[in-house]
Amino acid sequence: MDPQKWILSIITLICILGASVFMLSAMDSSSIRTEIIGQLNRVVPDGLGGWSAVFTTPTTATKSGENQKGKLLPVQVNLTTCLPTFGRPGKPVYCCPPRNMLDDPIVDFEFPDPTQTPVLVRRFAHRLDEESIAKYEKAVSIMRSLPYSDPRSFTRQANLHCQYCTGSFLQQHSTLPVRVHKTWIFFPWHRMYLYFHEKILGNLIGDENFAIPFWPWDLPEGMTLPAFYLNGSFINHQRDPTHFPPAVADLDFQLAPGGSTPEEQTDLNLALMYNQMVSGAKTAELFMGCAYKTGEGGDCFGPGTMERAPHNTIHKWVGSEFHTGREDMGVFYSAARDPSFYAHHSNIDRLWEVWRSTHPEMNDPEFLDSYMYFHDENRRLVRIRFRDVMDIDMLRYRYEDVENTWLAARPKPSVPPRLARREIREREERLELPGSHFGPTGRVLDSPVTVRVVRPREVRSRTRRGKEQQLEEILVVEGIDVKADDFVKFDVYVNVVNGTIMSPKYREFVGTFVDIPSGSSVGKKITLKLGISEALEDLEADQDRAIWVTLLPRTENCNKVIVDGLRVEFTRK
Nearer to ligand C2O, 158 or 558 (CB): 158
Distance CA(424)–CA(525), nearest Å, equals 32
Nearer to ligand C2O, 335 or 558 (CB): 335
Among 184, 229, 253, 332, binds ligand C2O (CB under 6 A): 332
CB of residue 515 vs ligand C2O: minimum separation in angstroms? 13
Distance of CA 480 to the CA centre of its chain: 17
Give me the torsion for CA of 129, 134, 137, 141, rounded to 10°: -170
Nearer to ligand C2O, 52 or 183 (CB): 183
Give the side-chain half-sphere CA count within 13 A for 460: 10
88 binds ligand C2O, rule: CB under 6 A: no
Whether 367 sits among the annotated catalytic residues: the reply is no
Among 33, 122, 311, 505, binds ligand C2O (CB under 6 A): 311
Whether 359 sits among the annotated catalytic residues: the reply is no
One-letter amino acid identity for 187?
F
Distance CA(59)–CA(366), nearest Å, equals 13
Distance CA(399)–CA(121), nearest Å, equals 6
Residue 124 DSSP symbol: B
Nearer to ligand C2O, 40 or 185 (CB): 185
Residues numbered 431 to 490 that lie near ligand C2O (CB under 6 A) are: none
Distance CA(205)–CA(207), nearest Å, equals 5
CB of residue 440 vs ligand C2O: minimum separation in angstroms? 34
Binding mask 395-434 for ligand C2O (x = CB under 6 A): ----------------------------------------
Q: Which residue of the set 161, 173, 197, 375 is catalytic?
A: 161
Residues numbered 159 to 218 that lie near ligand C2O (CB under 6 A) are: 161, 165, 180-181, 190
**CA angle at 465 for the pair 459 and 471, rounded to the nearest 5°:** 45
Among 73, 335, 522, 536, binds ligand C2O (CB under 6 A): 335
Q: Which residue of the set 287, 332, 341, 509 is catalytic?
A: 332
Query: What is the b/e burial string over 533-561, where b = at least 16 CB atoms within 10 angstroms of the residue's CB?
Result: bbbbebbebbebebbbbbbbbbbebbebb
23 to 20, 354, 485: CA distances (angstroms): 5, 46, 21
Nearer to ligand C2O, 199 or 311 (CB): 311
CB of residue 85 vs ligand C2O: minimum separation in angstroms? 14
CB of residue 213 vs ligand C2O: minimum separation in angstroms? 16
Among 88, 293, 308, 315, binds ligand C2O (CB under 6 A): 315
Whether 237 sits among the annotated catalytic residues: the reply is no
Nearer to ligand C2O, 326 or 345 (CB): 345
Nearer to ligand C2O, 337 or 505 (CB): 337
CB of residue 331 vs ligand C2O: minimum separation in angstroms? 10
Whether 126 sits among the annotated catalytic residues: the reply is no
Host H or E run for residue 416: none
Count residues near ligand C2O (CB under 6 A): 10
375 strand-pairing partners? 381
Distance of CA 51 to the CA centre of its chain: 31
Distance CA(498)–CA(427), nearest Å, equals 13
Helix (H), strand (E), coil (C) string for 84-95? CEEEECCEEECC
Q: Which residue of the set 126, 197, 311, 344 is catalytic?
A: 311
CB of residue 111 vs ligand C2O: minimum separation in angstroms? 24
CB 560 within 8 A of CB 483: yes
396 to 344, 345, 536: CA distances (angstroms): 20, 18, 41
Q: Which amino acids are annotated catalytic? A: 161, 181, 190, 311, 315, 332, 345
- Which positions touch ligand C2O (CB under 6 A)? 161, 165, 180-181, 190, 311, 315, 332, 335, 345
